[in-house]
Amino acid sequence: SLSLIDSCWLFLALCFLVAFSVHKASAQLPREYRKSSLLTLFQDLIRYGKTKQTLHRAEWLRVFDVPKRWFWHFYAISVCWNIFLLLLSFNFIYQLQSYPPWLTGILEILTGVPSSFGQGKLSPPQLSTVLVLLLLCVHSLRRLLECLFVSVFSDGAMHLVQYLFGLGYYIVLGLTVLCSDLTAKGPGTLLSHSDWIRGAGFVLFIAASLLQHQSMVLLAGLRKGKSGRVETLAHRVPEGGWFELVSCPHYFAELLIYVSLGFTLGGFSFTWWLVVLYVLFNQALAGQLCHDLYVSKYESYPKHRRAFIPFVL
């Protein structure tokens, strides 16, 4: 049976798959149905930033808006939390001091392991687990710096529910890495014979991170002049790099980063691949919303571009 953490990620993945399907289907509905209160509330919950600005909604819905520029809060929390878990893991490995009782209790609930797990019988985390925590810290720190010093945010908004979800997301993500470690077979299994998979994951992580950073720089450049100063907050058609293939290469890079972390864990963590499944549907929805906006707003928008996966979606 699925553990609690597995069930949570599978549930989230299915929710975003349904949301993606409903969004695609609603585009085919007559105009009067698309303006219904229920569909407006649905669109308000799934949109943010520029895709939300074109949404016609009641004034009471705007009460729940928070600035999209608050994205940096997510990455700040992620950096602090994952560094904390990383330090606990190093302490466990080198000082043989187990995780705090409150953390072992949480992991016990999430993984469904026997109660003996919380009684000092926990094995130290594997090297791949520590490496993934480290890579999560690097990823979150880069995104934090990009939000603060690279990206140029307009007055776009996101829903309060999205904001609260994002605050908790990276907390659960760090716990999921530890859960993936605990539900592995342990020393002597396939995980110990997959160094080449972990190496490939590390290389993919670097390549995907560079792709995402390049995409963020190109997006920011649309609002900056040659001097590097912000000249406009208007939205323009992105060009260059992987934007020639897809509307949202930064979303595709995000998916590749999570795939790379799955390989870094050895490639056999069922729990983590459920996370990747969630990221796939989450980024597919966000990418489709952006792509639809570009297509509807710019008549000359390149028809060969996909939403976020080159030549596929």
Per-residue pLDDT for 188 more than 80?
no
- As a whole-number percent, the residues of the chain with pLDDT over 70 amount to 94
Give residue 58's pLDDT. 87
In a domain, 112, yes or no: yes
* Residue 209 counted as domain residue: yes
Domain range spanning residue 254? 4-297
Q: What local confidence, expressed as pLDDT, does residue 189 receive? A: 38
Q: What is the mean pLDDT of residues 225-239?
A: 84
pLDDT for 173 equals: 97
Domain contains 179: yes
Please give the average per-residue pLDDT across 194-223, as a whole number.
93
Percent of the chain at pLDDT exceeding 90: 69
Q: Which two tokens stand for residue 68?
A: 């999209």
The pLDDT tens digits of the residues spanning 138-156 come to 999 999 999 999 999 988 8
Torsion angles phi and psi, residue 159, rounded to 5? -75, 150
- Please check whether residue 306 lies inside any domain of the structure: no
Residues 6+ apart with CB under 8 A from 107: 99, 113, 117, 175, 178, 179, 182
Residue written as tokens 């209160």? 37
Query: Does the pLDDT of residue 222 top 60, yes or no?
Result: yes
Q: Is the pLDDT of residue 166 over 80?
A: yes
Q: What is the pLDDT of residues 63-77, one digit of tens each?
A: 999 999 999 999 999
Encode pLDDT of 261-288 as tens digits: 999 998 889 999 999 999 999 999 999 9
Our count of domains for the chain comes to 1
CB atoms within 10 A of CB 65: 18
pLDDT at 313 over 80: yes
String of DSSP letters for 233-253 = -------SGGGGTBS-HHHHH
Note if the pTM is more than 0.85: yes
The stretch 124-143 carries a mean pLDDT of 93
CB contact at 8 A, 279 and 258? yes
**What is the pLDDT at residue 190?**
37
Does residue 307 lie within any of the structural domains? no
Q: What is the pLDDT of residue 35?
A: 80
Lowest mean pLDDT: which of 28-42, 68-82, 162-176?
Answer: 28-42
**Mean of the per-residue pLDDT values of the chain:** 90
For residue 302, tell me if it sits in a domain: no
Torsion angle of the four alpha carbons 171, 174, 176, 182, in this order, in degrees rounded to the nearest 10 = -130
pLDDT at position 194: 67
Q: Which of the four pLDDT bands, split at 50, 70 and 90, describes residue 82? A: very high
**DSSP code, position 117:** G
